[in-house]
Amino acid sequence: MTNPLRKVSRYATDVAEELRRCTWPSAKEVGSSTVLVLGISFALAVFIMVADFFFGKLIYAI
């Protein structure tokens, strides 16, 4: 039977090694992606709000 603490230590070492090999986005890429996500989220929220308004008017008209 292996030592559970050794398994956890090995796992942590493997994770650290993998994170060093990752290619992280630049600050500019993060900023532009954030703006894109916020813009799409806002546009979707406006679309849902308008659709809800018109469907509400349609339901009350019937």
**pLDDT tens, 16-53?**
999 999 999 999 999 999 999 999 999 999 999 999 99
Q: Is residue 11 part of a domain?
A: no
Q: Is residue 38 part of a domain?
A: yes
Domains in the chain, number? 1
Output the pLDDT for position 3. Answer: 85
Joined tokens for residue 53: 């308004």
Q: Is residue 62 part of a domain?
A: yes
Q: Does pTM top 0.75 for this prediction?
A: no
Residue 12's pLDDT band, with cuts at 50, 70 and 90, is very high
Asked if 2 and 10 touch (Cβ cutoff 8 Å), the reply is no
For residue 46, how many other CB atoms are within 10 A of its CB? 10
Which range of residues forms the domain containing residue 30?
25-62
Shortest CA distance to 9 belongs to which of 1, 17, 43, 61?
Answer: 17
Which run of H or of E encompasses 58? helix 27-61
* pLDDT at 1 exceeding the cut of 70: no
